[in-house]
Structures are given as structure tokens and as C-alpha cells.
Structure 1
Amino acid sequence: MKFRTFLLFFCLVISSIIPAEEIRFLYNRNYYPFEFTNEQGKADGFVIDVLFALAREAAYEITFIPGNWKQREEDLYNGDGYFTTGFLNHSSHDSIITSKILFSLPFSLIYRSGISPHSLKDLDGRTPLFSSGDSSEQVLYTYLKPEKVIRTKSWSDAVKALDTGYGDFAIISRIQKDLIIGEYHEKLSVMEEFHLVLPYVIYTTRWDKEKLEKLNNSLSIIRASGEFDRITGKWFAEENPLITASGKKRSLLYLIPAAIACIILLTIYKKRKVRL
């Protein structure tokens, strides 16, 4: 009995001495409220909280390194053992792999007065505006190949510049659009025909496939435990702009009672029709 107690104590001591395996995440320092550098100079945001939860569940020590999308892309492709996040964009690099979808986000296209586009083709030759290094750059290059782009320090600066006639249009997430479109509603419009929903994932190289699989398992666990929903509620208390797997399941569950009721009513109607 004493030996078993000693062995258990010894294992606990050893496990506390051995440091947890580290994973390094390159994050966007200017993509509020998803991932950004706060006033204390630390990584913050909805995605950061989710990554902390995933790392904790997988027993990883997580380190965040600030940058923008272009910098992260280069570091990732160099194969330095980094992880990063971003919108799913099929890479030409065979070494890049992605996680399960963390969430999906709807996007809007806003344009200045003086142009009236009805489709993306109408924007050929036009100048887009977006925040330098912002993830919206990924969205832009997925659908358009502009000859010229204008970069600003932040997406809010991009919208202000667009309002003054500097540039023609911008692609921003729906939550960002809702934050600013009211302020600039007289000069800016939303292209109603533009519908785009992009999944947000974790990127890494195939050499870190095992670590990525552990993070995927952690994602399933924090969804099932409600931790993911708690983090979502923290950042999007009033209105949740995210499209998540759990949200889709709930929607389907809500449809089941309605479907059963329809079947019952249809059966009653047929029986009455036969009697008549």
C-alpha cells in the first residue's frame, strides 16, 4: 500500500517537472474582435480564447506571436513549426494542412456612391480597400485579381477612406459591416447580391499533423462541454454572427417537432378525405 502511494506521488512529481509541449501560434494583431493585440500588448479575442481552450484540453503550452496575414503566410510556408488561423483558402503548397472548421463567417461587400455593381464582374478595374495584412485580403484574392489595391492601418480606416471617395469597394465581415454601415449609410452601400460565407480554420504543415489531430479532438470536446458556446457568449453577447456546427444541429432539432406535426396533420387530413 505504501509502495503504491509512493509510486503515485512519484508520478505526479515527475509529470509536474516535465514541461508541457509547446505550440506556437502566429496571430493577426489587427482583426478585432477575433484576434488582436490588446492595450496590454497581449493576444486577445474570440479566436485567441478558443485556441487557449484547445491547447489546455490537449495539454499544450501555447505561445502567441503577433503579425499580419502576409507575415504569417511566409513563416508558415518556411516550415518553422508554426500554427496559424485564417479563412479556408485552398493552398498550392502540398505541405499545408488544415483543421476542422472552427466556425464560418458571412461577408459583405460595401461600395462607395457613384458606382452600382450587381456582381463581382462589375468590379473589374475597380480599386479595393482593406486593412493591411487583414484576413479580408484572403477573401479578396479568392474571388478577384485586382491590378491595384489600397491598404490602410485598420478596417475602420479602410471604411473611412472609402467614405471620402478614396478607393471603390471593400470586403468586410458581416459583424464589421454592422458596426460601421450606419455611420456611413449616406455614402456607402451594401451589395445585396454578394453572398459569401467562409470557414475559419487552423493552418499548419503536414509535419505537425499529430498535434493538429489533438487540437481537432479538443475542438470536439469543448463543443460538447459547452466551453465553445461560453466563449462565443463572452464576445458576442448581443448578436452571434458566427455559423457553427453546433448551431446547425440545433436548427435541425428545432425542425423535427414541426416535421412530426406536419405528418400528423397530413394523416388526419387524408383520413377525413377518405371518409368523405
Structure 2
Amino acid sequence: MTDTQKGIGLMVITTIIFAAQDGISRYLAGEYNVLMIVMIRYWFFAAFVISIAKRQAGSIRAAAATQQPVLQTVRGFLLASEICVMITAFTLLGLVESHVIFTAYPLLVAALSGPVLGEAVGWRRWAAIGIGFVGVVIILQPGVKVFSPLALIPLLAALMFALYNLLTRLAARKDSAATSFFWTGTVGAVFTTTIGIWFWEPISSSDWVWMCILCVTAAIGHYTLIKTYAFAEASAVQPFAYLQLVFASAIALTIFGESLSWPLVIGAAVVIGAGLFTLWRERVSAP
């Protein structure tokens, strides 16, 4: 049974939680190695994922059962890598610029849905994708100070997240949501531990508190996201996911002393507008 208003409310709560999580990640990444932080976060996340998947599938064996282990492994690797890349962007560019550039990921999903999923992309969506990338160019300001190789880091994260989303759709053709969720957490935990354990460093008592909050918010955020899609269709609530940019920017401006520039604001408006149009076209074109 759907309840769109509850779904929208939960999506707004989810974006607040994820924005807070990004703020904590930015702080911790400024003090400790990114790989270690993501590794610890994935330990907690994997435990959460296993418990949820077991409850939905009936057993761990049932949750892990898949006909496409390579695809599921690539999905888990992509998401874990994307998180590492995005947190690195937070430390190098800040929350505002990173999030503004990252908002291009729905456009990348639309652009790649043809070659990856074999979906038809009409001229209207291609026009929106083109306009959206004009917005990205406005943000990057080629030839101006803001444009640097560092600005490509969140764009890489957006590409990785777009591919993760597309592979998740592909995996859903044969595997249940519980199975995909299980593989997401466990593969990410194995991957980040294999690399991150070599970068272990002592963490202060006060920062362990923040680390625990980070882990808890990651679990709560994913839980509220799951409940969001249980109450409402993705096409109805997805536009509200852009609020994460608003909340993350508020944290960046008030806590980290970052600033906004007109190219960032204008470019973000263009990208978000194109993204919302793309989501709308996907909804009206759905059978």
C-alpha cells in the first residue's frame, strides 16, 4: 500500500541524515585516512545489511543466493569506491562544490541507461542531459580558478554512483532487493577492509564518538530510505533527494565556513532543473 506523503516525508528525513553524515565524514577525513574511515563505517553497515537481508529473505544463505555474483560484486565495489572518492572530494573541494557537481548523477544515469540497460532515450531527455551538462560547465568554469583536476573528483564519484544505480536496476531483473542489499554491504566491507586495514591509525576518544555517530547515521539513513520506497514510488520521491544539496550546503556554510558563488548557484539550478525534467520524463514514459 502506497502513501506518497509519508514517502516524501521520509525522503526529506533521509536527506537530512545523509547531509549530517557527509558533514561528519568531512571532519573525520580531515583528521584521519579516508580508507580507514570508510572501512569502519562498512563494518557497521555490513552488520546492519546482513540483519535486514536475513529478515527479508529468511536466512543468510537465502539472502546471499544469486545467479549473477560478478554483477553483484561489481555493484558493491563501485559503491564502496564511490564513497571513498566522494569523501576525498569533501576534504579537497568542500561540501558545497562537491555536492553541486555530484547532482549531475541522475543525468549520467539517463545518458547511460541506453548502453547499459538497453533503454530508449528520447530527444527530450537527451536535450535535458545536454542542458544539465551546460550547468556542470558553468560550475567548473573552464579557464577560471575553480576549474582544476580536483573538480573532476566529485564528477568521477557521480559517474560511479550512476553506474552503481544502473547495475542495481540490472541486478533487480534476477535478484531480490534483499540479495542486492546483502551483496552491497558485504562486498563493500571486504573491499574496504582489504585496503583500509593497512592505513589504520589511532583515533582519539572524542573522535570515536563521531565515528560511532557516523556509523549509526549510515544505518538509520539506509533504513529510512528503504521505508521511503516501501511507502511511495521512486519517481514520486526522487526529486526530493536534491534537498541533500540544500542541507549539506547549510552545514558547509555554518560549520565549515565555506562560501557560495554565483556560478555554483546558477550551475546547480541548471543541473537540478535538467535532472527534475529527466525524472519527470522517465515517469510519464513508464508503461
Alignment TM class, shorter chain as reference: under 0.3
Q: TM-score, normalised by structure 2?
A: 0.26
Q: Which has the higher helix share?
A: 2
Q: Which one has a bigger Cα radius of gyration? A: 1
Q: TM-score, normalised by structure 1?
A: 0.27
